[in-house]
Amino acid sequence: MSNSKSINDILLCDDNERLEHLIQIFAKYQMAGKRYEARAWHAHFRRIAIDPVVFYRHNATLFYEDNQYDHETFQVMEPTCIHGDLHIGQFQYYFDDVKHERVLKIRRHKKIIAPFTWDLKRLATNLVLVAYYQGFSDVEIIEILHVFIRQYIKNVTIRIDKINLCRQYSDKNEQSHQLKSCLAHRQISVIGSIPIQHDMHDIDWKKLDTVASLMILAEQLAIVVANSHCQPPVSISSIQNLIENNAEHCTHVIETALSSKTQQQELINDICLFSIIYAEIAERDHRLFFKHFRNERIFNGINVLNHTRIPHPLADARSLSILIV
């Protein structure tokens, strides 16, 4: 696709052009370098084609290929440490018996160096798709997005204030220890400092059938993401000389980007606009993929990546079964 395209242009492009792009992305990033087995690939694509929400979750590569065409008003001057593939399926929860509330945690921490807005865009689009599925109106969807982004900004601001307070009242010799204690959010038991084990549950987004329930989830997700961005998980691998692994650096980047009300409003506007447009793109991508995959018009033996024949066409995945009684 041309680099001159914007996100809105992707939405308006021809179906055939978009389908060709989808095929190339799947071939390049999902099928390349792997043994082509018709039965296995047919089962994989059938699983991700269940509905637009599931299809979107399994297409992070496509999302970031498209994201490069977004012309943001809100500018992030420096990349920082982010998750890289946030969607509702990446979160689990447990019930806090003391507070009698649901506590969310990220299922598996990934780590890439990129603008923090990428995580917000990807997760916000997922919220829009869930809202579409539930039949919520455009006005209700915008309200949910505002709740999500404003809660993210609020929680980041609270963490920044805590860090600044620690700096203000800590001696130089104790500063490192104080900052660590302020940033520590891991729940531990009193006996032997052993982490408490909880029964974790997946989020069933299909049960989020009211605007209020999705708003509550949006707030909880925003808090977890803000905490993750300000206190990234420790990694044993070296990433850009570990500069971006530093919690202070990550927090400083976000603090600078959100230092004024104008910048905060630009972030809200950009995330809302992007996620609503991209949800429509994802919905159409699913429709195109499902229609042509179901009728075996794509992935039917042509290796899009290097223009050579794949030994076993996808149509061969359908085999006769014999019932023995």
Structure confidence at residue 100 (pLDDT): 78
Comparing 176 with 117, which gets the higher pLDDT?
A: 117
- Residue showing tokens 């049960």: 207
Let me know: does 54 contact 133? Beta carbons within 8 Å: no
Q: Are the C-beta atoms of 123 and 221 separated by less than 8 Å? A: yes
| Domain assignment present for 143 | yes
DSSP per position, 79-143: -EEE-S---GGGEEEEEETTTTEEEEEESS---EEE-THHHHHHHHHHHHHHHHHTT--HHHHHH
Residue 168 CA to residue 172 CA, distance in Å, equals 10
Question: Is residue 44 situated within a structural domain?
Answer: no
DSSP 8-state assignment for residue 29: I
Q: How confident is the model at residue 241 (pLDDT cuts 50, 70, 90)?
A: low
Euclidean distance between CA atoms 68 and 86, whole angstroms:
17
How many domains are there within the chain?
1
Q: 67, 62, 122: which is closest to 289 by C-alpha?
A: 62
Residue 291 has pLDDT above 60, yes or no: yes
Which DSSP state fits 159?
Answer: H
Q: Does residue 235 surpass a pLDDT of 80?
A: no
Q: What does the radius of gyration of the chain's CA atoms come to, in whole angstroms?
A: 22
Whether residue 314 has pLDDT greater than 80: no
| In-domain check, residue 140 | yes
* Measured distance CA(199)–CA(203) in Å, rounded: 13
Domain hosting 75: range is 51-272
Sort residue 240 into left (φ over 0), alpha (ψ -120 to 50) or beta: left
Mean per-residue pLDDT, 18-38 = 76
The answer to the question of residue 134 being in a domain is: yes
Nearest to 289 by CA among 11, 52, 41, 131: 52
Residues in contact with 236: Cβ distance below 8 Å, sequence separation at least 6, in sequence order: none
The predicted model gives 136-154 an average pLDDT of: 98
Q: Does residue 319 surpass a pLDDT of 60?
A: no
pLDDT band at 170 (very low <50, low <70, confident <90, very high): low
Does any domain span residue 75?
yes
pTM of the model: 0.80
**Domain assignment of residue 250, yes or no:** yes
Position 159 in a domain: yes
Asked whether residue 296 carries a pLDDT value surpassing 60, the answer given is yes
pLDDT at position 318 is 37
The one-letter amino acid code at 90 reads Q
Q: Is residue 55 part of a domain?
A: yes
pLDDT (tens digit per residue) in 179-212: 566 555 544 444 445 566 778 999 999 999 999 9
